[in-house]
Amino acid sequence: MKIVNSLLIILSILCVLLSAAPFTPAVFLSILLMCVAGVYGFYQKTNIALLLLCFSTLAIIASPWNISVINLGYILVPYFIGFGGTLLGINKKVNA
């Protein structure tokens, strides 16, 4: 499991570095990693989830992708999944 966690973090750092170039699929991979971060956060692996959310957010901010009202829906749903799952995991960890 530690190998998978390390690979996910390395992949998210790579997405941050590649997202600055136009026409790369790194932004879509970082959106997918946000959903993975929500699942990790829900199962109380909050350190990894917060790192993945941080790097994924940086990748989307650094990308030259034009965010319009139509594209905003593609970004908000993974944000809600990622941050919502992480907040639920933190809540479970504190109340346990």
* CB environment 58-72: b (16+ within 10 A), e (fewer): bbbebbebeeeeeee
Question: pLDDT of 6-33, one tens digit each?
Answer: 999 999 999 999 988 877 788 889 889 9
Enumerate helices (H) and strands (E) in the chain, giving the number of each.
4, 0
What's the CA gap between 71 and 54, in Å, rounded?
Answer: 20
- Residue of 89, 18, 22, 86 lying closest to 58 (CA atoms): 18
Question: pLDDT of 45-94, one tens digit each?
Answer: 999 999 999 999 898 888 887 766 667 777 888 889 999 999 999 988 88
What pLDDT is recorded for position 70?
Answer: 65
What pLDDT is recorded for position 9?
Answer: 93
Q: What angle do CA 51, 7, 37 make, to 5 degrees?
A: 40
